[in-house]
Amino acid sequence: MTTSAFPVIRLKPKSDPRPLRRGAPWVYANELVLDRRTKALEPGALALLEDGERRPLALVGVNPNSKIAARVLDRDTDASIDDAWFVARLTRALALRTRLFDAPYYRLVHAEADGLPGVIIDRFGDAAVIQPNAAWADRLIEPLTRALVAVTGVTTVLKNASGRGRALEGLDETDAVLHGAAPDAPLPVPMNGATYMADLTGGQKTGLFYDQRPNHAFAARLGQGQQVLDVFSHVGGFALAALAGGAAQALAVDGSAPALALAGQGADAMGAGDRFATRQGDAFDVLAALGEEGARFGLVVCDPPAFAPAKPALEAGLRAYERVARLAAALVDEDGYLVLCSCSHAADLSAFTGACLRGIGRAGRRAQLIHTGGAGPDHPRLPQLAESGYLKALFFRL
């Protein structure tokens, strides 16, 4: 029988432990023996996970109230999950980013793929924003913060509690300043030659989406000298990159007035304000209105929020992607380019591509698929976790 400083939880006798031994990071509630003792564990408690034969598998963070009942933290069952442990994980994550990027603007920790399940950390120079989207990380936020400051030297650490994952874990939505002082103005972030303004306290998620960086760059090449339309633009994602790459004009469309105001500030900061315009409104309505106005663009990009964040929403989500593709394709010049993106976990590449092609066909257009993009290398994928490869960007020539 195993002797452990941690409480012990166990797989059901018929639950196969081999995926966990091969690197799977999650244990679902229906795979565990959820006896009275296990159900009594507090969300975020650390435990020793055993297989059905009582052989140790890993140290895990437990949440008996979540569909993901346990998340693998360390396969060394003698490990101590303390400041030194966090320092080691963050040091390894930082080494990859400093090799990839010349400036400290990137996703520093991408959850399971960086060995910190449920944890997102985005870095903005001397500031960092943590999204602790799992109960174990929320419970250990103080040693995580200390290690982050020690490893990176950042002077500000903020907690963003808006992640959808926190609701699934039963966690609160209370943001906090964990170290230093919150910035009193949006921070300029250089990326692909453009300047983005990141609102770390009032913006969406952590303030900026780094995952589209390589797709911004690819699209910018297609937009050289062109009229560019960026729909679901947020703070100017594709539009500002296109302007930095030599686009003639860019129009950013979004439902959020504050996001478009930040996009305008970014355009001004990079000296491109005279080539940039915004249009606030529902994206579907604006796409339809532009079509009725006879507007045409050499490059159209649509990067919507997740229409299919989970399997129950898949069918409706695919219909929404098809509709976006139909409305957007009608606005593209002959031999122009259409970029369609999805960040939906539930819609895999094949399903998303099919929806896009149906929409393009319904618009009476024919397409060449010239490139398929994903998230940048600061968003590494864990091969054993399909959800870590969520982003898809399809580049069409029409």
CB atoms within 10 A of CB 7: 14
- By C-alpha distance, which of 60, 394, 288 is closest to 279? 288
- Token couple for 136: 């174990």
CA–CA gap between residue 369 and residue 357 (Å, rounded): 10
**Separation between Cα atoms, residue 390 and residue 71, nearest integer Å:** 19
Q: Which amino acid, one-letter code, is at 243?
A: L
Q: Which two tokens stand for residue 153?
A: 């030297």
- Catalytic residue of the set 302, 341, 343, 356: 343
């949006």: which residue's tokens? 186
341 is catalytic: no
- DSSP letter at 387 equals G
What is residue 262's three-state secondary structure?
Answer: helix
Vertex 270: Cα angle to 268 and 274 (nearest 5) = 45
Q: Which residues contact 230 (CB under 8 A, 6 or more apart)?
A: 236, 237, 238, 239, 242, 250, 251, 252, 253, 301, 303
**Cβ–Cβ < 8 Å for 127, 187:** yes
* Residue positions annotated with a catalytic role: 343
